[in-house]
């Protein structure tokens, strides 16, 4: 395998790793957004039940109903605290996935640059070889032309 083929293979592997990292980043973003939606839903639900609790207090509803609403609100607050932690964890995963994706992209770009340099070096070498052949051919032709011209005198 030539150096160019090796670099191309490595670049392809890095591009695949970058794609996987980008997919993980996207999945982490979606998971974080979903966790935030759940938190928002729980907060809206708590606000609705808090309003129901206040209305029940104002109406003078029975103590058992008020206590049930209060306990339910306490459980909702616990769920909100847990979901807040889940959102924070999901946001942390997003940042880790972003960093991994950016690192993978950086590696791939470095190999792109290395491959471009390798291609440029190969092209320069080919051009140099072609010029050398042209120079040799021109020299041989000049010698042959000179030799033919010298024998006819």
pLDDT band at 150 (very low <50, low <70, confident <90, very high): low
pLDDT band at 153 (very low <50, low <70, confident <90, very high): very low
Domain map (residue ranges) of the chain = 3-151
For CA atoms 27, 99, 110, 7, the dihedral sign is negative
Tens-digit pLDDT profile for residues 120-148? 988 999 999 989 988 889 888 888 887 77
3-151 adopts what CATH topology? Answer: Helix Hairpins (1.10.287)
pTM of the predicted protein model: 0.73
Q: Is residue 152 over pLDDT 50?
A: no
Tens-digit pLDDT profile for residues 30-88? 999 999 999 999 999 999 999 999 999 999 999 999 999 999 999 999 999 999 999 99
Tens-digit pLDDT profile for residues 83-99? 999 999 999 999 999 99
């Amino acid at each position: 395998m030539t150096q160019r083929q090796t670099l191309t293979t490595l670049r392809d592997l890095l591009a695949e790793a970058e794609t996987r990292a980008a997919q993980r980043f996207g999945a982490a973003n979606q998971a974080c957004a979903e966790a935030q939606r759940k938190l928002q839903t729980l907060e809206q639900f708590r606000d609705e039940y808090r309003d129901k609790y206040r209305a029940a207090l104002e109406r003078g509803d029975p103590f058992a109903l008020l206590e049930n609403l209060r306990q339910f609100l306490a459980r909702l607050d616990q769920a909100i605290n847990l979901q807040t932690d889940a959102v924070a964890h999901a946001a942390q995963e997003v940042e880790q996935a972003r960093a991994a994706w950016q690192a993978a992209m950086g590696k791939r770009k470095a190999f792109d640059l290395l491959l471009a340099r390798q291609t440029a070096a190969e092209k320069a070498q080919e051009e140099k070889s072609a010029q050398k052949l042209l120079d040799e051919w021109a020299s041989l032709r000049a010698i042959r032309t000179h030799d033919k011209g010298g024998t006819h005198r």
